[in-house]
Structure 1
């Protein structure tokens, strides 16, 4: 009887090991598939994005804000005065955001030396109250995990919903606002578009509008 119990225990342990390995392998393959899909999507493919009327914020000063990053540090848009900034609203549950983020990481690395930065603003925590500490901790952990997996080296800010009204309500994710060196929104984006189109809008934000006006 004792021997049978030991054998049963070993068998259950082995099955549990296989089950865990299978889940881990599935999770790894899922993450790899997301990256491959993002990397191999044809440049001309557009999913959603920019089909509606122009944003009322276009050609106007970007609304000011101050939010916390994942370390609790306060970060303001004003901190990046003189730089071109892509304000990118996203969420971990947003499928298109998973496709777009690797492109943003690459483009940020490519244009950072020219005075370009991305502020990745998470809109993860919808309708949470300030005293809901457990929910905030859970959302923050999910955001941090996503940022690490995607190698997001640019500032990642939380509680984007607190400024969503200032930026038009954010009816879809991702939503992006391209701010030039003078603090003016020169391009917007709702949904995901091609990497080439994102790069074109970054170049527009980087353009020296003062020099162009003098020509």
Structure 2
């Protein structure tokens, strides 16, 4: 004799509207968490008037923040040993073709080592070497990559630690013209 088991009642499938609402709530919650983490990571970075500095590029050319006073500029801190920096460096190079960009190699060794890194990767960017992290400390940069957008008045209008999507940087540079 075979025994038959009673069938379990199946829960009704949620409606499309209910599933869409559930997905919307989950995506919204993930976005809020993402933005909160991003804000937390940048909490100590410099804001307001950008700290002035004078330095030398890898080729010995003197450079100062005041040299970029004509229009909004991107100040980008990176390191040769940083995998995320390597991921975004091609985009930073492309961005530099249409916008003022100054990069700072933070704690990446001697100028010759940074130059070798740039040559190996076939990158051409204005680079200030910051072997001890002194310039990074003025901007309260504790990790790389770190990005600042400074408007033509010398005010930091955007700051971010971590990967910065290129479209976001382009949009923020464009917006910095009006802020």
Q: Same fold (TM over 0.5)?
A: yes
Residue in 2 aligned with 1:128? none
Give, in whole Å, the separation in 2 of the partners of 1:67 and 1:156: 10
Give the aligned partner of residue 77 of structure 1: 65
- 1:163 aligns to what? 135
CA distance in 1, matches of 2:168, 2:43: 16
Aligned to 2:46: 57
RMSD: 2.2
Is the 1:86–1:202 contact (alpha carbons within 8 Å) kept by the matching residues of 2?
yes
CA distance in 1: counterparts of 2:68 and 2:126, whole angstroms: 11
TM-score, length basis structure 2: 0.70
Whether the aligned pair in 1 keeps the contact of 2:45 and 2:139 (CA below 8 Å) is no
Which is higher, the Rg of structure 1 or of structure 2?
2
Structure with more of its chain in helix, by fraction: 1
**How many residue pairs end up in the alignment?**
142
Decide whether the 8 Å contact of 1:100 with 1:192 is kept in 2.
Answer: yes
User: After TM superposition, what 4+ stretches of structure 1 lie above 6 angstroms from structure 2?
Assistant: none
Residue pairs, 1:193-212, within 5 angstroms: 193-205=164-176, 207-209=177-179
After superposition, residues 43-54 of structure 1 pair within 5 angstroms as: 50-52=38-40, 54=43
1:121 correspondence with 2:104:
yes
Aligned partners of 2:78 and 2:85 also within 8 Å? yes
User: How far does residue 141 in structure 1 lie from its aligned partner after superposition?
Assistant: 2.0
1:146 to 117, 123, 146: 117
Provide the rounded CA distance (Å) in 2 between the counterparts of 1:107 and 1:62. 21
The alignment status of 1:86 with 2:69, answered yes or no, reads: no
Distance (whole Å) between structure 2 residues aligned to residue 149 and residue 106 of structure 1: 17
Q: Tell whether the 8 Å contact from 1:105 to 1:151 is kept in structure 2 after alignment.
A: no
CA distance in 2, matches of 1:155, 1:99: 18
Checking the alignment, whether the CA contact within 8 Å between 1:117 and 1:154 is kept in structure 2 is no
What runs of 5+ residues in structure 1 fail to find an aligned partner?
1-45, 126-135, 210-215
- The answer for the alignment partner of 2:30 in structure 1 is none
